Amino acid sequence: MTAGTAHDLASFVSSMGGERALRVEENLGEGYVRLRVAEAERRQARHDVRCVEDALIELLRNARDAGARRIFVATSREGSLRTTCVLDDGSGIPADMHERVFEARVTSKLESVHMDRWGVHGRGMALYSIRENAVRAEVMSSGTGLGTAIRVVTDATALPERADQSSWPVLGVDEDGSPACVRGPHNIVRTCCEFALETRDCEVYVGSPAEMVATSRARVPLSVGPSELLGPDALAALPVTERPRAAADARDLCEVARSLGLEMSERTAHRIVSGEIAPVPSVLSRLAPARPSAPAREVDLMRDRRGLKIARDDLEAFSRALARDFSLLGERYYVSLSAEPRVRVSGRRITVTFDLEEGD
């Protein structure tokens, strides 16, 4: 072995030892180690997001928690790469936080941890988990009060997705009589539909990048007058969901779309401006009701929208109170909760679900 080869081998062994030291806090012997917090978080993050649909629901929940009222989901695939862009009109992310929001435990929800049908939200791990599982994840454009445009690129060979991404779910009712998706693959479209059914104060749209640009131009009114759109930085000062509508021509529209993560050609932009590519309805408007074999209650989404509404903060406070009171049963019957009680409001009904630890 030459001196150079020995040096290279020593450097390799040293680097491997250094990499191990970064991951291991303590060697416990017999093959057991105690992981460092950062390594444990990385492994948990990879477990949190197991498919493209998991990543999307985290992006939708983030938009909801930012106060968004309109959410546009643009998705496309080339080869094994899936690109998903989510635009919302929520509170936005300050410019100096565009990278840091992808770090572990970074959250804007210091005083609140939300429990919904998808579990706990507010740990500051959602975007971190997405980036750990994605080829690329980035904030394309955002600012305080301007909403957010975020793009995630995933590889289907590493992060799987449903094979059928074109079928729409069928709308029916669940055991409580509430509107629900009862048939269809659990794909990106169904994820958007189930989120929209659960979060009625958000209008959700899904389609190709071109369809989402056309839809935002049609559905989002401008908050400024024509005189305020003059100047090179005028578009950048607008909320992200308003920018496509403010574009003066196809060339401007193409540039705006690309700046938001929505890749398209100038020819496609011309087709949008000319009306060849039409806007799409919201996902709730596009859901087809099931055809029951026996008479069933007709699903009326507009009527359900007028049902009982309870503020999210009040629901969370009520859930915490129920968790405390559950101790009476817990002490007498030796059972414990696996998560905070889930409170669901539908129509004129409030349903509370207590999930117990396995083995209780």
pLDDT digits (tens, 9 = 90+) for 4-45: 544 444 444 344 456 666 667 667 676 656 656 666 566 565
Report how far apart, in Å, the C-alpha atoms of 266 and of each of 95, 120, 136 are: 28, 42, 25
Number of neighbouring beta carbons within 10 Å of residue 39: 15
Same domain, yes or no, for 95 and 136? yes
Higher pLDDT, 186 or 328: 186
Is residue 96, in this structure, part of any structural domain at all? Answer: yes
Q: Is 76 inside any structural domain?
A: yes
| Number of structural domains the chain divides into | 2
In whole angstroms, give the CA distance from residue 179 to residue 298.
10
Average pLDDT over residues 261-267: 96
Share of the chain above pLDDT 70, in %: 75
Q: Would you tell me the crossing angle of helices 209-219 and 250-259 to the nearest 10 degrees? A: 110
Q: Is 199 inside a domain boundary? A: yes
DSSP β-bridge partners for residue 74? 85, 207
Structural domain including 317 reads: 312-353
pLDDT at 10: 44
Model confidence pLDDT, tens digit, residues 118-153? 766 556 678 888 998 999 999 999 999 999 999 999
Q: Is residue 176 part of a domain?
A: yes
265 and 337 together in one domain: no
CATH number at residue 231: 3.30.565
Claim to verify: residue 119 and residue 232 sit in the same structural domain: yes
Mean pLDDT of 280-303: 70
Q: Are residues 243 and 336 in the same domain?
A: no
pLDDT at 268 over 80: yes
For residues 84 and 74, is the Cβ–Cβ distance under 8 A? yes
In a domain, 40, yes or no: no
Cα gap 131→232, rounded to integer Å = 33
Domain boundary residue among 241, 266, 283? 283
Across the range 81-100, mean pLDDT stands at 95
Average pLDDT over residues 234-256: 93
By the 8 A CB rule, do 181 and 283 touch? no
Q: Is residue 18 in a domain?
A: no
Q: Does an H or E element contain 114, and which? A: strand 114-116
d(C-alpha 250, C-alpha 274), whole Å: 9
Q: What is the mean pLDDT of the chain?
A: 82
**Same domain as 323, residue 196:** no
- Residue 110, domain member (yes or no): yes
User: 308 pLDDT exceeds 70?
Assistant: no
Q: How far, CA to CA in Å, does 274 sit from each of 88, 193, 269? A: 25, 29, 9
In the prediction, which pLDDT does 354 show? 82
Looking at the DSSP bridge assignments, the partners of residue 173 are 179
Q: Which residues pair with 26 in a beta bridge?
A: 34
Query: 177 and 84, same structural domain?
Result: yes
Give the pLDDT of residue 260: 97
Judgement on whether residues 273 and 339 belong to the same structural domain of the protein: no
Helix (H, G, I), strand (E, B) or coil at 194: helix
